[in-house]
Amino acid sequence: MKTVAVIVQAGFTPFEFGLACEAFGLDRSDDGIEPFDFRVCALEPGVVPSSIGYSINVPNDLSFADEADLVVVTPVPRAAWAGVDPRIAEVLRRAVDRDAWVLSVCSGAFVLAAAGILDGRRATTHWKYAERMTQMYPAIDVDPDVLYVQDGKVITSAGSAAGLDACLHLLRQELGPEATNTIARRMVVPPQRDGGQAQFIVRPIPETASLSLAPVTDWMLENLREELTVEQLAAKAHMSPRTFARRFKADLGATPAAWLGRQRVLQAQRLLERTDLGLDRVAYECGFGSAAVMRQNFTRVLGTTPTAYRARFSCSPTPAQPSAPAQPPTPAPALA
């Protein structure tokens, strides 16, 4: 990927536009990263007003976007969601036909939808507008529970900051993990949020809303190896199992089993990225009991295997070497 075009239209949102500029437009030659030929494009060269009262002067028409390796689309006002200028629609369709990357940020997915390139694909947008997209474009498989989705070479992202996650995901594929980590470090953001760059990243489960459950969730994270039960956790919270399960779901947005399973997957990702531990040992450290159980959970949550994930995303030059476990791995945990 050498050339990047960002299409702006009247009423574009500055923050989402800025994400694309930050991810692809900065010259990072001093970090050993070759800069992209990055240009902002519009229907016609000239002044384009933003959504908050100021304008930018765009020197390029759509001809550059019609040849770029990546075309980025920023959000437009809601009044424009039902349609898209035919010239932009054609540029996007031709980009897909010539196997270029196409990426939308937040509700910019509605531009892609109106152009018809999301029909038959899985996609996402801001959770607040996901139902609206489903109603307007029933041919799209809209997933409201992810930060971004890649379907072929079309990437759609959820609300605002999730666009940066999508950009980093694409950069990781094109530049590799080391360069992407460097870029993320310069931006002072994690290179991969909620566990890394699989086909998609599940939206993070909300932090504990009730302080009464904080000691329990902290204890769960400290004891991922153990076989945990709802009855055991409820006793620690001084609640009945039924009340505990209901309170947990209300506060954290997931059942105790789902929350614990996700935390185990997250820990497995960290170990696969940062160490050279064998899969059986990683499974033990995370409480899965066996590599087979870990593989099932990993594939279900991230859409890839632990082996494939490590091969792609491991970037630790000096992997840790923890000592062997003092006891054999535990059975598959009750809540996993």
Domains of the chain: 3-202 (3.40.50.880), 205-336 (1.10.10.60)
CB 219 within 8 A of CB 237: no
Percent of the chain with pLDDT over 70: 87
CB 103 within 8 A of CB 96: no
**Mean local confidence (pLDDT), 252-279:** 89
pTM over 0.95: no
State the burial class of residue 23 (Cβ atoms within 10 Å of its Cβ: 0-12, 13-18, 19+).
Answer: buried
Strands (E), 174-275: 200-202
If you search the block for the tokens 């820990």, which residue do you land on? 267
Kindly report the length of the chain: 336
For residue 309, what pLDDT is reported? 84
Residues 310 and 168: their CA atoms lie apart, in Å, by 18
N-terminal to C-terminal alpha carbon distance within the chain: 40
pLDDT by residue (tens digit) across 146-161?
889 999 999 999 888 8
For residue 187, what pLDDT is reported? 80
pLDDT by residue (tens digit) across 5-14?
999 999 999 9
β-bridge pairing 70-73 and 101-104: parallel
Instruction: Give residue 145's pLDDT band: very low, low, confident or very high (50, 70, 90).
Output: confident
If you search the block for the tokens 């989402």, which residue do you land on? 16
Instruction: Give residue 260's pLDDT band: very low, low, confident or very high (50, 70, 90).
Output: very high
Closest listed residue to residue 60, CA positions, set 44, 49, 75: 44
For residue 282, what pLDDT is reported? 94
Q: For residue 53, is it left (φ>0), alpha (ψ between -120 and 50) or beta?
A: left
Closest listed residue to residue 212, CA positions, set 241, 249, 238: 238
User: Taking the CB of residue 71, how many other CB atoms lie within 10 A of it?
Assistant: 28
Q: Rounded mean pLDDT of the chain? A: 86
CB 263 within 8 A of CB 252: no
pLDDT by residue (tens digit) across 55-98?
999 999 999 999 999 999 999 898 888 788 999 999 999 999 99
Residue 246 in this model has a pLDDT that exceeds 60:
yes
Residues 138 and 325: their CA atoms lie apart, in Å, by 51
∠ CA 234-206-211, nearest 5°, is 50
C-alpha distances in Å from residue 335, one per residue of 205, 228, 252, 302, 327: 17, 6, 16, 19, 21
C-alpha distances in Å from residue 301, one per residue of 76, 141, 202: 32, 18, 8
Residue 203 in this model has a pLDDT that exceeds 60:
no
